[in-house]
């Protein structure tokens, strides 16, 4: 497999986004929620670079698109926190078709948070089927299937510290 993003670059991305979030949420106490399982390493690294009081949370979802373009979401593990009135940062590994985060956004907006901010380590805009733009993106990549640093292929490779292009 070929390295696409070495670990050092991932850490740099986390520092940059961490600094931007620290400025954006100065004086606030956001809930920083990881979308399991893929975003777990990114969420852990990113939190090290958040210089403010935060609360960590975790959510696991499965999205499926029906006849409507909005799609529906199946929450396998919900947030522990009540997010009403809170500032919420959602941390995801990659935005591909846009289905997962656009469905999650619709679902979480119903809970009346004060604000919702979406952070994605990677973005593949050329693959979009549902319009969705994250507020913070680590790196835009081409239409490639990548693994490592949380990203899996059949649950394998999540443990790798770099991000690789999976070649057949
Ligand atoms: P979306 O709902 O935006 O189509 O897809 C988001 C999910 O698809 C991601 O959270 C991730 O689990 C999976 N995914 C999309 N592209 C890739 C990829 O290149 N590699 C891996 N490992 N997972 C991907």
List active site positions: 96
| Residue having the nearest C-alpha atom to atom 17 of ligand 1 | 145
Question: Residue 132: what pLDDT?
Answer: 95
Q: What is the mean pLDDT of residues 125-142?
A: 96
Average pLDDT of the chain, as a whole number: 94
Question: Residue 50: what pLDDT?
Answer: 98
Question: Residue 52: what pLDDT?
Answer: 96
What is the pTM assigned to this prediction? 0.95
| Pocket of ligand 1, beta carbon within 6 A | 38, 63, 92-100, 145-147, 151-153
153 alpha carbon – ligand 1 mean position (Å) = 10
95 alpha carbon – ligand 1 mean position (Å) = 6
Question: Residue 124: what pLDDT?
Answer: 97
* Domain range summary for the chain, segments of one domain joined by +: 8-142
| CATH architecture observed for domain 8-142 | 3-Layer(aba) Sandwich (3.40)
Q: Comparing 22-26, 60-64, 99-103, 146-150, which segment has the lowest mean pLDDT?
A: 60-64
Express each pLDDT in 19-77 by its tens digit.
999 999 999 999 999 999 999 999 999 999 999 999 999 999 986 655 444 567 899 99
SS (H, E, C) the chain: CEEEECHHHHHHHHHHHHHHHHHHCCCCCCEEEEEECCCHHHHHHHHHCCCCCCEEEEEEEEEECCCCCCCEEEEEECCCCCCCCCEEEEEEEEECCCHHHHHHHHHHHCCCCCEEEEEEEEECHHHCCCCCCCCEEEEECCCCCEEECCECECCECCCCCCEEECCC
151 alpha carbon – ligand 1 mean position (Å) = 8
Question: Residue 116: what pLDDT?
Answer: 98
Question: Residue 68: what pLDDT?
Answer: 46
């Amino acid at each position: 497999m070929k390295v696409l993003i070495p670990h050092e670059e991932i850490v740099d991305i986390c520092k940059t986004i961490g600094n931007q979030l620290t400025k954006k949420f100065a004086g606030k106490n956001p809930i920083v929620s990881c979308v399991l399982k893929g975003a777990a390493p990114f969420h852990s690294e990113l939190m090290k670079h958040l210089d403010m009081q935060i609360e960590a949370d975790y959510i696991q979802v499965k999205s499926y698109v029906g006849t409507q373009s909005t799609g529906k979401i199946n929450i396998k593990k919900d947030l522990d926190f009540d997010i009403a009135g809170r500032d919420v940062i959602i941390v995801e590994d990659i935005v591909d078709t846009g289905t997962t985060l656009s469905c999650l956004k619709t679902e979480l907006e119903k809970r009346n948070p004060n604000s919702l901010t979406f952070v994605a380590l990677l973005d593949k805009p050329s693959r979009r089927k549902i319009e969705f733009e994250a507020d913070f993106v680590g790196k835009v990549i081409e239409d490639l299937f990548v693994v490592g640093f949380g990203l899996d292929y059949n649950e394998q490779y999540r443990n790798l510290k770099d991000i690789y292009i999976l070649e057949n």
